[in-house]
Amino acid sequence: AAVPAGARGLVVFTSGTTGAPKPVELTPRMLFASATASASVLGWRDGDRWLCPLPVAHVGGLSVITRCVIARATAVIDDLDGFERHRATLGSIVPAQLPALCDRDAPPAVRAVLVGGAAAPERLLARARARGWPLLRTYGMTEACSQVATERAPGAGLRPLPGIDVRIASDGRIEVSGPTVAGGRLRTGDLGRWTADGGLVVLGRADDVIVTGGENVHPALVEDALRSHPAIADACAFGLPDERWGQIVGAAIVAPAGVDDADLAEHLGRSLPAFARPRRVALVDALPLTAAGKADRRAAARLSTRPFPRG
């Protein structure tokens, strides 16, 4: 039956990564459009089971349930062991769960695993894919009923879902419109750009940009450079107040076996300009995370840091 235009849906709160969580009303029509767009990319097969090791109070977990209900497929609420325990064929995870996949081979039944909610470290993606995990990066948000863009094949680059219009505004903000968005065009808090072949690159939150001495630094670029060092398992970059520069770059670093400062500084000097290199770092066992499994940048910025050479 058709969904009535005025039908009320449900209220989901955003993850509150950069501010207080805010309520977002998602109508049945929006949820149906999102599930349909997702299915047009992944498709449904007989016997599909979608594993959801995510909180269902957030849109990432909730969308797994709605997709399965609409498709009359099986949703499995379990941890990552559910891939083998329940012979799941599909899954949705956040980047914080990638290390666990790197330590196990993918069961043969798994055909696609969506990775979203935050930027996924390329090295972890590569390690997990080497173990047979068919990982597809996604980009989305609560206000758009979860997915906005996804990879069609591992490493192929983000492409907007069918029916979803994505534009980059003159100030670099990502704007989204389509049947999964209420009230016309949604101006997101994210910055992005297009690749030469039409892929979407998400640079990070506009509010997270570090302004140091008049230069803009995207934390994601700093994090990518840090993670490319073989001793660094994960990293989170942030701005710290500074009387001279306004802000300086700080970073929380996960290096299980330790890391030599001089070696890391030399490594960063190959890919980052001097102003973008961390001046202070905190060595931690694990990054602080939000309830949704995203790196908590505000909590990381409150960690005790020490000076770090810029090379």
Q: With a cut of 50, which residues of the chain have pLDDT below it?
A: none
Rounded CA gap, 146 and 138, in Å?
9
Rounded CA gap, 297 and 118, in Å?
12
Q: What is the largest CA-CA distance in the chain?
A: 65
Q: How far apart are the first and last CA of the chain?
A: 64
Helix, strand or coil, per DSSP, at residue 207: helix
User: Domain-by-domain residue ranges, the chain?
Assistant: 10-205, 209-307
Rounded CA gap, 45 and 233, in Å?
36
- Cα-Cα-Cα-Cα dihedral of 46, 97, 175, 149, to 10°? -30
Q: What's the pLDDT at 4? A: 65
Q: What's the pLDDT at 2? A: 63
Rounded CA gap, 256 and 260, in Å?
12
DSSP 8-state class, residue 75: E
Do 14 and 57 contact (CB within 8 A), yes or no?
A: no
Place of tokens 């389509």: 178
Q: What's the pLDDT at 100? A: 94
Q: What's the pLDDT at 85? A: 97
Q: What's the pLDDT at 17? A: 61
Q: What's the pLDDT at 229? A: 95
Q: Pinpoint the alpha helices (H) of the chain.
A: 28-42, 59-71, 82-85, 98-102, 122-130, 219-227, 261-269, 297-301
The domain 10-205 belongs to what CATH superfamily?
Answer: ANL, N-terminal domain (3.40.50.12780)
How would you classify the pairing of strands 49-52 and 90-93? parallel
Rounded CA gap, 302 and 267, in Å?
26
Do 119 and 204 contact (CB within 8 A), yes or no?
A: yes
Instruction: For the chain, give the mean pLDDT.
Output: 92
Best CATH choice for the domain 209-307 from the list 3.90.1150.10, 3.30.70.100, 1.10.10.10, 3.30.300.30: 3.30.300.30
pTM, to two decimals: 0.82
Do 29 and 179 contact (CB within 8 A), yes or no?
A: yes
